[in-house]
Structures are given as C-alpha cells and as structure tokens.
Chain A
Amino acid sequence: MKPGSIAIVGAAETTDLGVIPHLSQIQLHADAALNALRDAALKPADIDGVACAGEMPTNVAHYLGIVPKWVDGTSVGGCSFMLHVRHAAAAIGAGLCTTVLITHGESGRSRIGALPRTIPPASLQGQFEAPYGIYGPPTMFTIPVLRYMKTYGVTEAQLATVCVVQREWAAKNPRAMMRDPITVEDVLNSRMIAYPFRLLMCCLVTDGGGALILASADRARDFPRKAVYILGTGESVESPMISQMADFTSSRAFRVAGKQAFDSAGIRPSDVDHLMIYDAFAHLPLYGLEDLGFVGRGEAAAFIAERNTAPGGKLPLNTNGGGLSYTHTGMYGMFALQETVRQVRGTAAAQVKDVEVAVCHGVGGMFAASGTIVMADRQP
C-alpha cells in the first residue's frame, strides 16, 4: 500500500456505550455499522467488502443486507480490527473491492447473544494452562509483569500511576464509563484481583461496538467528513499461551507490528503527535511505549509518571480514557481506532491540538497478537 492512498471515510461507535442490555451482539455490530454508514453518507448497498471479528462476516453481511465481494474474518482478539484495516487497505489497493465496512459489536457485560468463552480441553492451552486455575485475562495477561518489574525496578505505585493518568483523560470525556479522579493510593487500595494487579489496574467490562469504512483516497472528497489517511500498517502474532511468550519484558508481536507500521509509513516515534496503546491492563502502555521505540527499555513507567502522556504532556496517550476508564467490551481495539480517527479529524472529546500523525497500537489475546496503524490528516 502506498502511504496515504487509502482513507477512513466513515467512523462511529454504537449509539449507547457501557451497559446495553436491550441489544444483542449482532445488533451492536449493526448499530455501529448504521452509524458509520450515516457518517459516510452511504447505504449498505454501497459496501462491497466486509470485515469483522467475534461474529462471522457471513452473519454481519447477511444481517445488514450487504453483498460483499471481499470478506475478512480475521479473529485474533482485540486487535483484529487493526488487522482488518491493514487487510482492507491492501484489498482496496489491489482492486478486490472499493468500499470496506469493518464492524465490532460485543455484549461483554450483559452477555446478550454473546458467544461462549471456553478453552477447548484438547488445545495446547487446554492441556498446559487451563489446569492451573487460569480464569480469564486477569490471570494470564498479568503473569509477565513481576518479571518486568524486577528487571527494571518498576514499583507497584508506578504501575498504578498509569491508571491515574488515564483517568485524567477520561474525566474530559462524557462517554467514558469511569470519570471520577483517582489517586495512586486509590488504585493500590482497590480490591486485589491477581497480585500485583488490583481492580483499578484491570480494564472495564462493557457492552458496545464500533465501525469503520475505508475507501481509496482518490474518493476522499466524495464523503462529507474529513478523510483520515492510512500512512502505514503492521501486524504479527506470537503465542496463544502466555507461558510461551519468549520474553516477559517485551512483546515480539508488538515489536514486529510496530516496526512494519513505522517503516511503511516512513515515520519515527518523534513524528507522532498522538498515541493509542490498547490498555487491557495497566502494564500494556509500558510495554507498548518501549516496544514501539518511544522510550528506552525500562523507561516507560518514569515517562508516564513524569506526565509526558498526561493532558498537556508531549505525547498524549489513550486520550479517550482507554480500556481502563473509557470502555472495554472484550475486543477494545475498535475503540482505540475510533479515538485515533476522532483526534485526526479534530472531533475528540479531549481534543489534542494539531494532530497530524497518530499511531494506534493494538494487542490481541495475552500478548498473542498485535496490529499497528499509522494515520495522518493529509497525504504525504
């Protein structure tokens, strides 16, 4: 893909966000899709490519009455939508389709029409992790952190600071689920979930969805909204088992996806005006900042504590409040992408001034997958 040759021309979240017991999962996809179609002044008949995760693209295309000639059901967890953006950009560039709809919908909290969460007992994870009492992401995603903290001398208070700073961003966002200010003491005194992780270091569990529409940048002026250009993209996977992650202080998938995205965009970390790093737990921004090259090894906690990523700081990070305070349906990556689009368009609740280049970095599974998208407000 030539940098800037593909654009996001429509973007929207579900009408409601947080607790939505009156909508099933497939309708959350549809609600977000209809909002994004309105944003782009398009009808379902204008869409010829469909990508989604959680639901099969078959279900979403049929439900919305779309006749696709390109589909992508890549489902590698919460960053699936970053991979969809990458694949869609390549497909549009190759002439396989012209107008792609990417949807997310998840009834993560109310569990209406949701898919069952099970680990097959014959899978490698079922045989070699499930018997040890793993119980959802708080017992797996969190395991590497004590090693990271020992290696770099990072304290529990520094880990808590990540949550405090993100709550400052959330306080500016009326759609954020958690907006009341918190202190490091509040975080450290919240209920212990899986030492060293307290409740406030873990993401929310919510209902919601989002959708994106991509088209060739040549058509950007055909749409009512300011186009957001795709400059570069990257993706990778590592292991479905946290116990087999090669380095507990750094994610290989982050490094591979991030390098591809930055190299293909032709940018360096110093070029980035706004950053989203998928924060299912408090340590994710630390790994992301280091693995993407924004700071050196072991420097991320101090970087955040010194308020570089806070409101007014030089590298605004997770400006919607993140998975920790904004919303987290289960596959949060779509919401990170939505915030990046809003910031580049200049329409965010906590708008950062003059965002020209923005990076949106996602994780899937427990450091199992990653996708990185570089967006810009203009073609290079």
Chain B
Amino acid sequence: MTQRPLPEITPETRHFWEGTRAGELRLQKCSACAQAYFPPRPFCPQCGSRDVAVIRASGRATLLSYVIHHRNVPGFVPPYSIAVVQLEEGPRMMTNIVEVEQTPAALRLDMPLEVVFQALNEEISLPLFRPAASSPSARGSVA
C-alpha cells in the first residue's frame, strides 16, 4: 500500500518530530503569557514573545470534531476518521482516531482520548489518538 504523505521537517518543527520519535507529544509554551500553543514556531502567536519553551504534553485529549472519509486515498483504508482533538493543554491538532470502530456511534464528540505513536519511517512517527484506557468506549468494548 502506498504510504501516507510524509511531513518534511523544518528547523522550526524539528523538536516536535524528534519528540514523537521518542514517544513524546511536544508543544511549546510562552514564558511571557503562559500560553501553550501548536503548531510549532519559535515565538508566541498570542503575544509575539520569543521567550518560549518546549513542553511535554500529557497526551490526553478529547474529540472536538471529525469526518469519516469514504473515498480511496493512498495509505488509507476507508472508511477512516479525520479528526481534530482538543489537547488537555489547550491547543488543538488534526489526527486520526484509531483502535476504535470508524462509525458515528463509536466516535462520540468529547470522548476522552490518549495519544499513540505510529512510526512511518526512521525519522517520522505520527501522533494518533485512541479512546483513553479509562473510557467506557475503550478498545474492544465498543458495541
């Protein structure tokens, strides 16, 4: 199967992809206004300060919204979810919800999720999300 489109790492995003390869979800946080943010850039999008630090996110999130795509796309088996999750730290990110049925009944908005990492090659590991272990709709228990 042809692979998913691969991201091309830039100097400003290297910490993020090094993090996922090491099994960490990394965000950035502004030292001036305390805002956590994503996607990566070496300054705060809220206040413009360059005084920012890389932080390790908890990996916990909730399901903000999604679609279930039904057409054929290289690297994917339809139907598959394309979702945006609300990270515990505040920022949002696009992802796929995995290890759960790809149905409206199983994919409930606001359900708790946790990050998992899928290695695409030696350089790129992609953050995906699955139902959180404590969630009633966790893996295998979906009706």
Contact = CB atoms under 8 A, between A and B. Distances in A.
Interface of A: 119-122, 124, 126-135, 138-140, 142-147, 150, 191-197, 241-244, 248
A274 B67 CA distance: 33
B117 interface: no
The 8 A-B residue pairs with the shortest CB-CB distance in the complex, in nearest-first order? A127-B7, A243-B94, A147-B65, A195-B68, A122-B8, A121-B8, A194-B67, A130-B5
Majority-rule SS of B interface residues: loop
Contact of A143 (B7, B9, B66, B80): B66
A119 B79 contact: no
B109 interface: yes
B67 A127 contact: no
B8 A244 contact: no
A353 B94 CA distance: 46
A279 B73 CA distance: 25
Interface in B1-31: 4-10, 13
Nearest to A133: B76
B73 A133 contact: yes
B130 to A, nearest CB: 14
Contacts of A134: 82, 94
B128 to A, nearest CB: 8
A133 B75 CA distance: 8
Given A127-B39, A133-B96, A146-B109, A193 B65 contact: no
A97 to B, nearest CB: 36
A193 B70 contact: yes
B64 A248 contact: yes
B126 A131 contact: yes
Contacts of A195: 67-68, 70, 79, 104
- Which one of B9, B65, B109 has the highest number of Cβ atoms from chain A below 10 Å of its Cβ? B65
Interface string B83-120: 11000000011111000000010000100000000001
A143 B83 CA distance: 7
A126 B93 CA distance: 13
B109 A139 contact: no
Contacts, number: 112
A31 to B, nearest CB: 32
Interface of B: 4-10, 13, 38-39, 64-71, 73, 75-76, 79-80, 82-84, 92-96, 104, 109, 120, 124, 126
10 contacts: A126-B7, A127-B10, A128-B38, A129-B94, A132-B126, A195-B104, A243-B94, A244-B39, A244-B92, A248-B84
Given A127-B13, A147-B64, A241-B94, A133 B7 contact: no
A22 B38 CA distance: 46
Contacts of A143: 65-67, 82-84
Given A143-B67, A195-B67, A127 B9 contact: yes
Contacts of B73: 133, 135
Contacts of B109: 146-147, 150
Contact of B4 (A119, A122, A133): A133
A119 B8 contact: no
A131 B6 contact: yes
Nearest to A129: B94
A193 B104 CA distance: 14
Nearest to B3: A131
Contacts of B95: 132
B5 A126 contact: yes
A194 B93 contact: no
- Which one of A127, A130, A134, A197 has the highest number of Cβ atoms from chain B below 10 Å of its Cβ? A127
A193 B79 CA distance: 10
A146 B84 CA distance: 11
Contacts of A129: 94
- Which one of A135, A142, A145, A241 has the highest number of Cβ atoms from chain B below 10 Å of its Cβ? A135
A195 B82 CA distance: 10
Contacts of A122: 7-10
A197 B71 contact: no
Given A193-B71, A243-B93, A131 B65 contact: no
A252 to B, nearest CB: 14
Contacts of B68: 194-195
- Which one of A131, A138, A142, A191 has the highest number of Cβ atoms from chain B below 10 Å of its Cβ? A131
Nearest to B75: A133
Contacts of A142: 67
